[in-house]
């Protein structure tokens, strides 16, 4: 009796499943189609126009070709520290070949703590490398490998002064040690500044690295020292930093690259003498407000320029007669050093703010050069001859 009841229960279950199924067998054994979906839920893909497909294919081919041409010039740099008998890997970064003599550009902060370096090329070949020069102010370094010329495929350097916001860019590097990774984005902004030598807290904030390129191309730890490229495969910057929150070092869509024109200026000096000389004026400003913000409250005669907060004692500006602030004024609840000279031009070139001043000094002057500084003091324009010194270590 129990077997009969079990059999009946199984048959009822099978019948229920058959009734709920969308497809069943007809008496002849042939399948009967399931009920169609309501017309409102049917998804029909929109055909891609031939012109759009052609454009898409061309863009993909462009990126594929760029990667094939440039990736061979990008290397992975492994940094070790310790003694000759016992070394420990402390980090990795990226770099790119700039000539057939084996010189490779990377970041200063990638190699600063290195006692030994190894370079891995895109085809897996490995070579020892040595630092020939490093510069904390620009966060650039040059390392050298002694390998056959056939290993070396130099990149083409572009012109960072020609870069535009909105321009498409590509980053190639080794994020998290994943060699030969390529990401794409745009130039998000130009003219940013970063504290020089971010890895050295003793110097952070004393000097600024100007004309930094901001990009949303994904940059992560390990990308440092790798190239930021235009779509022709020319280097327009050296990936150096990412914006972090709460100490989390991962891509936030805000990355920064040192402009390639800085590489053009710095790399030859590093190769030739291992260091870089920077012209030095010897003035400081209050970083809490721009001159435009201070102009209304302080009733400045101009809403641009560099309001000198202080001059370095016995520095070039001090020796020439420039003056810093002599009083403190509260602006939006913050005490600001005021009463100093308002620097508005160098050699007749208008200077809008402090970033513009350091950019001009870095790009257009050299140690020992005599420049003409135009300032406003007590509402009157004055000119001073200043002999630039060398930026102190």
Tens-digit pLDDT profile for residues 77-118:
999 877 666 667 778 899 999 999 999 999 999 998 888 999
Encode pLDDT of 161-205 as tens digits: 999 999 999 999 999 889 889 999 999 999 888 876 544 433 334
pLDDT exceeds cutoff 90 at 206: no
Count structural domains, the chain: 3
Same domain for 223 and 195?
Answer: yes
Distance from CA of residue 148 to its chain's centroid?
A: 31
The pLDDT-based confidence of 286 (bands split at 50, 70, 90) is: confident
Domain assignment of residue 124, yes or no:
yes
Domain assignment of residue 61, yes or no:
no
Domain assignment of residue 323, yes or no:
yes
Does residue 140 or residue 250 have the better pLDDT?
A: 140
Domain assignment of residue 12, yes or no:
no
109 labelled catalytic: yes
CATH of the domain at 93: 2.40.10.10
pLDDT of res. 291: 87
Q: Span 227-232, mean pLDDT?
A: 96
Same domain for 291 and 348?
Answer: yes
Catalytic residue among 94, 103, 108, 109: 109
The pLDDT-based confidence of 314 (bands split at 50, 70, 90) is: very high
pLDDT of res. 197: 57
> Is the CB of residue 209 less than 8 Å from the CB of residue 195?
yes
CATH of the domain at 300: 2.30.42.10
Domain assignment of residue 31, yes or no:
no
Write the secondary structure of the chain as one string of H (helix), E (strand) and C (coil). CHHHHHHHHHHHHHHHHHHHCCCEECCCCCEECCCCCCHHHCCCCCCCCHHHHHHHHHHHHHHHHHHHHHHHHEEEEEEEEECCCCEEEEEEEEEEECCCCCEEEECHHHHCCCCEEEEECCCCCEEEEEEEEEECCCCEEEEEECCCHHHCCCCEECCHHHCCCCCEEEEEECHHHCCCEEEEEEEEEEEEEEECCCCCCCCECCEEEEEEEEECCCCCCCCCCCEEEECCCEEEEEEEEECCECCECCCCCCEEEEEHHHHHHHHHHHHHHCCCCCEECCEECCCCCCHHHHHHHHCCCCCCCEECCEECCCCHHHHHCCCCCCEEEEECCEEEEECCCEEEEECCEECCCHHHHHHHHHHHCCCCCEEEEEEEECCEEEEEEEECEECCC
CB burial of 268-296 (b: ≥16 within 10 Å; e: otherwise) equals: eebbeeeebebbbbbbbbbeebbbeebbe
Q: Span 294-310, mean pLDDT?
A: 90
Does residue 343 or residue 17 have the better pLDDT?
A: 343
Domain assignment of residue 16, yes or no:
no
Query: In the Cβ-directed half-sphere of 268, how many Cα atoms lie within 13 Å?
Result: 5
Q: Which domain holds residue 124?
A: 70-151
pLDDT of res. 310: 94
pLDDT of res. 290: 85
Going by DSSP bridges, is the β-strand pair 234-242/156-157 parallel, antiparallel, or unpaired? parallel
Same domain for 267 and 170?
Answer: yes
Same domain for 192 and 168?
Answer: yes
Q: For 91, left (φ over 0), alpha (ψ -120 to 50), or beta?
A: left
Same domain for 163 and 236?
Answer: yes
| Distance separating alpha carbons of residues 385 and 372, to the nearest angstrom | 5
pLDDT of res. 312: 94
Q: Which residue among 219, 250, 273 closes a domain?
A: 273
- Phi–psi pair at 385, nearest 5 degrees: -90, 125
pLDDT of res. 26: 42
Average pLDDT, the chain: 84
Q: Which residue among 273, 298, 332 closes a domain?
A: 273
pLDDT of res. 183: 95
Same domain for 210 and 190?
Answer: yes
Same domain for 255 and 307?
Answer: no
Same domain for 251 and 266?
Answer: yes
Same domain for 162 and 261?
Answer: yes
Distance from CA of residue 365 to its chain's centroid?
A: 25
Same domain for 195 and 140?
Answer: no
Encode pLDDT of 331-373 as tens digits: 888 888 889 999 999 999 999 998 889 889 988 999 999 999 9
Same domain for 226 and 146?
Answer: no
Catalytic residue among 135, 136, 139, 230: 139
Reported pTM:
0.77
**Token digits of residue 126:** 């490995």
224 labelled catalytic: yes
Catalytic residue among 94, 138, 188, 224: 224
Encode pLDDT of 55-73 as tens digits: 778 888 999 999 999 999 9
Domain assignment of residue 327, yes or no:
yes
Q: Which residue among 117, 134, 151 closes a domain?
A: 151
> Is the CB of residue 245 less than 8 Å from the CB of residue 175?
no
Same domain for 263 and 205?
Answer: yes
pLDDT of res. 18: 45
Domain assignment of residue 3, yes or no:
no
């Amino acid at each position: 009796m129990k077997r009969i009841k079990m059999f009946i229960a199984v048959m009822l279950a099978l019948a229920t499943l058959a009734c709920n199924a969308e497809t069943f067998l007809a008496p002849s054994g042939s399948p009967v189609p399931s009920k169609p979906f309501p017309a409102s839920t049917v998804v029909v893909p929109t055909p891609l126009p031939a012109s759009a497909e052609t454009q898409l294919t061309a863009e993909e081919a462009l990126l594929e070709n760029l990667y094939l041409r440039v990736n061979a010039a990008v290397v992975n740099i492994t940094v070790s520290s310790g003694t000759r008998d016992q070394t420990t890997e402390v980090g990795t970064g990226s770099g790119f070949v700039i000539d057939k003599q084996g010189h490779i550009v990377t970041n200063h902060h990638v190699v600063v703590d290195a006692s030994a370096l190894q370079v891995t090329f895109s085809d897996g070949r490995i070579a020892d490398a040595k630092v020939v020069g490093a510069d904390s102010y620009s966060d650039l370094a040059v390392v050298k490998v002694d390998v056959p010329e056939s290993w070396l495929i130099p990149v083409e350097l572009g012109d960072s002064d020609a870069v535009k916001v909105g321009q498409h860019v590509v980053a190639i590097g080794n994020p998290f040690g994943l060699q030969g990774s390529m990401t794409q984005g745009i130039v998000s902004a130009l003219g940013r500044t970063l504290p020089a030598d971010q890895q050295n807290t003793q110097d952070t904030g004393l000097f600024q690295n100007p004309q930094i390129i901001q990009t949303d191309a994904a940059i992560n730890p390990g990308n440092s020292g790798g190239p930021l490229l235009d779509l022709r495969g020319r280097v327009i910057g050296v990936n150096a930093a990412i914006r972090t929150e709460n100490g989390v070092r991962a891509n936030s869509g805000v990355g920064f690259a040192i402009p390639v024109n800085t590489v053009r200026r710095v790399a030859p000096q590093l190769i030739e003498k291992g260091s870089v000389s920077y012209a030095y004026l010897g003035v400081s400003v209050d970083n809490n407000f721009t001159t435009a913000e201070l102009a209304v409250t302080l009733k400045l005669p101009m809403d641009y320029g560099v309001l000198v907060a202080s001059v370095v004692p016995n520095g070039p500006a001090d020796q020439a007669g420039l003056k810093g602030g002599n009083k403190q004024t509260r602006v939006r609840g913050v005490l600001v050093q005021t009463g100093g000279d308002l620097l508005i031009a160098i050699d007749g070139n208008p200077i809008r703010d402090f970033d513009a001043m350091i950019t001009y000094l870095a790009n257009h002057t050299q140690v020992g050069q005599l420049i003409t500084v135009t300032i406003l003091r007590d509402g009157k324009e004055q000119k001073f001859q200043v002999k630039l010194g060398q930026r102190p270590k």
